[in-house]
Amino acid sequence: MPQSPSPAAAPLHLAVALDGAGWHPAAWREPEARPKELFTARYWADLAAEAERGLLDLLTLEDGLSLQSDHPFEPDTRTDRIRGRLDAVLVAARIAPLTSHIGLVPTAITTHTEPFHLSKAVATLDFVSEGRAGLRVKVSGRNDEVRHFGRREPIALELEDLDSPASLAGLAELFGEAEDYVEVLRRLWDSWEDGAEIRDAATGRFIDREKLHYIDFEGPRFAVRGPSITPRPPQGQPLVASLAHRGEPFKLAGRSADLAFVTPRDPDDARAILAEVRAAQQAAGRGAETVHVFADLVVFLEERPGAAAERLARLNETAGAEYASDARIFAGTPAELADLLVEFAEAGLTGFRLRPGALPYDLERITRGLVPELQRRGLFRTAYEASTLRGLLGLPRPANRYATASATEPATEPATAAVGA
């Protein structure tokens, strides 16, 4: 199995996770916050421009199918926290023409949406961004979201009892569905071969129907014939990412994703998580492929030692409670954060997704403080060296599975039926 290079041999990859006014619930009340602009395109465009200014590999955009809640599996009635979001895929499409290098990875929920719809939306994002699109697949265990759609029975998940037989069965179903979903996405992105569009006005041929393919996916959750209505994306396959905290999500990451976001507490925890992801990757026959694993950290940054901890304490006081997160919380200087990233990278991680505690403040501390510090250490790029997201992450453009099949096997159905008469 390929081993990840050491930080000395390969610079780190950096991503930033954008959500609301920042990941601390009181961040929207900070002087630098822009709460009145959260539902404007300009706000997200400005954040993306700042992230690109820092030469970051990619940004992610959070999303959901119900209002945010302090409880993972049910709504709350709080009015002192940000509630409401714009659609992440549409926001990414809006800011794509305003950026030129950074990868754009919106979140999409697999549990209640259709893979055919998402496949063409993300393919479109890849065209609009000229090869910088990805998506983070996310499952939903919230029963208030079940009631938005009315197509399935509620799932019994309790945070305090996730290892019970009922919860484990529910998780297996949700993540099994997500795995099928990703497989359908990948097949649909390949359902048009490269060069299927001829665009020859002289002969009147726009498309080569021999290069369009049925995917004929049949599973317990989806039956999708294809082909897509959108040509193969510029990257061939846009990046697929997932966030993983435990067994079933680790399996999804290893079996289906190009990039996993994980939440280790220390380097030893990171090594154990990596072992689970790599085992799932190997079991899926993907041992020769590169699957990046980034650690998530919530960050509060200040130049003066101790100042970030003081600001975090003030935010906690404003919120009326100490901030807790699924990811490790860091409050310190950019140099101290750089030391921590190096320590984690030595465990085998290839990069980090940083969640700014407050926006735009901590994002600017990342791009204008942390990035220069890493550059001084020779651990981060000084210029963008690739034009696609796959290129930035050192991932190859995948071959089209159907192009190989069509070159060696006769078509089982008339190609002229692939897109209708």
- Asked if 358 and 331 count as a contact pair (C-beta separation under 8 A), the reply is no
Residue indicated by tokens 């990035």: 371
What is the pTM for the complete model shown? 0.92
End-to-end CA distance of the chain: 48
Tell me the backbone φ, ψ of residue 187, rounded to 5 degrees: -65, -40
269 is in an annotated binding site: no
210 secondary structure, DSSP code: G
Domains of the chain: 13-417 (3.20.20.30)
pLDDT of residue 413: 38
> Residue 413 has which token pair?
């159905």
pLDDT mean by block of 10 residues, the chain; 421 residues: 45 97 98 97 98 98 93 88 96 98 97 95 98 96 82 71 78 91 98 95 94 95 95 98 94 97 98 97 96 98 98 98 97 98 97 98 98 98 97 97 64 34 26
Nearest to 332 by CA among 313, 366, 360, 305: 305
230 is in an annotated binding site: no
Distance from the Cα of residue 415 to its chain's centroid: 35
Sign of CA dihedral 345, 351, 353, 357: positive
Give the alpha-carbon dihedral of 57, 134, 198, 194, to 10 degrees. Answer: 90
> Residue 358 has which token pair?
């407050």
Alpha carbon distance 133, 105 (integer Å): 6
> Residue 8 has which token pair?
């000395």
What confidence tens digit (pLDDT) does each residue in 356-389 have? 999 999 999 999 999 999 999 999 999 999 999 9
